[in-house]
Amino acid sequence: MKKLIAGNWKMNGLEAGAVSLIGEIGSKIGAEPEILERCDFLVCPPALHIHVVKHKIDHDHIPVAIGGQDCASTENGAFTGNVSAEMLKDAGCAYVILGHSERRSLHNESSAYINEKAARAHMQGLTAVICVGEQEDERESGNAYDVVAKQLWESVPKVSNAATTVIAYEPVWAIGTGKSATPDDVKAMHAFIREKLQENLAESANMRILYGGSVKPDNAADLFKVDNVDGALIGGASLKADQFLGIAQAV
Ligand code: PGA
C-alpha cells in the first residue's frame, strides 16, 4: 500500500502563499516523479483557499489530492459559518479531516458529532480522515488505549471502509510540540487501532492508519518503518515544501 502523505495547513497563510506552496510542492514532485510509486499526496488548505489551490493543481497537473479541514454535520441550510461536505465536494475536494484534536478541544466536538460529520462526508463521496488521540494526562495515567478505543467506537461510522475512511492517530501531546511519539509507542497504538477496527467494522481491511504529531523529515523514516503506519498527517512541516517532500522521501 502506498503511504498517504497528508498536509494539514490549519489556519495558516494567505491566498498568494497557498498558491506558491502548492506550486513548490508540484515542482518538487515533478523533479522526482518516482516518489509517486511510494506515496499518495494530500493537502488540506484553509477552506477559503481551497479554490485557488485546486485551480493551481488542475492547471499545473499537480498529482496531489485536496481536502477540507472540517465539514458540517448537516446538509446545506441556515448554519452560519459552516461549510458543508457538499460544498467541499463541489470545490473539488476528495478528503476531509474530521475530529482533529484542535476541534475536539477548542470547539468541544464530541465523537458522536464527528460521526455525524463523517456520515455526511461519506454521503458526498469524500474520504473522511478521522483523528483520534489521547491527551498527555490520559497517557500518563495509563488510559491512552481506552481513550482511543472509545473515540474510534464513537467517531467512526460502522459502514466505513478503506475507500471512505482513513484513521489518523495523533497523540495530542505530540501535536506542534516537537515531541513525537516514539516508534515503539506508535507501533503498539497502531496495532491496537488495527485490532479495534477489525472488531468494530465489517470492512476495515486495508484502511489506512496515519500517524500525526511532530512528524519531520528527520523522524519520518523511523515512523514509516513501523507496522501499520500507512502515512502521516503533517501540520507544521507541511507548510514548507522541502520539509513536506523530505518526509515523503523518507518512505
Ligand atoms: P504537527 O501537527 O505536525 O505540527 O505536530 C500535526 C497535526 O495537527 O495534524
Per-residue pLDDT of the chain (251 residues; tens, 9 = 90+): 999 999 999 999 999 999 999 999 999 999 999 999 999 999 999 999 999 999 999 999 999 999 999 999 999 999 999 999 999 999 999 999 999 999 999 999 999 999 999 999 999 999 999 999 999 999 999 999 999 999 999 999 999 999 999 999 999 999 999 888 999 999 999 999 999 999 999 999 999 999 999 999 999 999 999 999 999 999 999 999 999 999 999 99
Protein residue with least CA distance to atom 6, ligand 1: 235
Q: What is the pLDDT of residue 180?
A: 86
Q: What is the pLDDT of residue 149?
A: 98
Q: What is the pLDDT of residue 42?
A: 99
pTM score of the predicted model: 0.98
103 lines ligand 1 (CB under 6 A): no
Domain parsing of the chain, residue ranges: 3-249
Radius of gyration of the chain (CA): 17
61 is catalytic: no
**170 to 38, 107, 193, 215, 218: CA distances (angstroms):** 22, 17, 12, 10, 18
User: Quick one: residue 200, left, alpha or beta (phi over 0 = left, psi -120 to 50 = alpha)?
Assistant: alpha
CATH superfamily of 3-249: Aldolase class I (3.20.20.70)
Ligand 1 atom nearest 212 alpha carbon: 6
170 is catalytic: yes
Ligand 1 atom nearest 10 alpha carbon: 8
Partners of residue 130 on adjacent β-strands: 98, 167
Protein residue with least CA distance to atom 3, ligand 1: 235
234 lines ligand 1 (CB under 6 A): yes
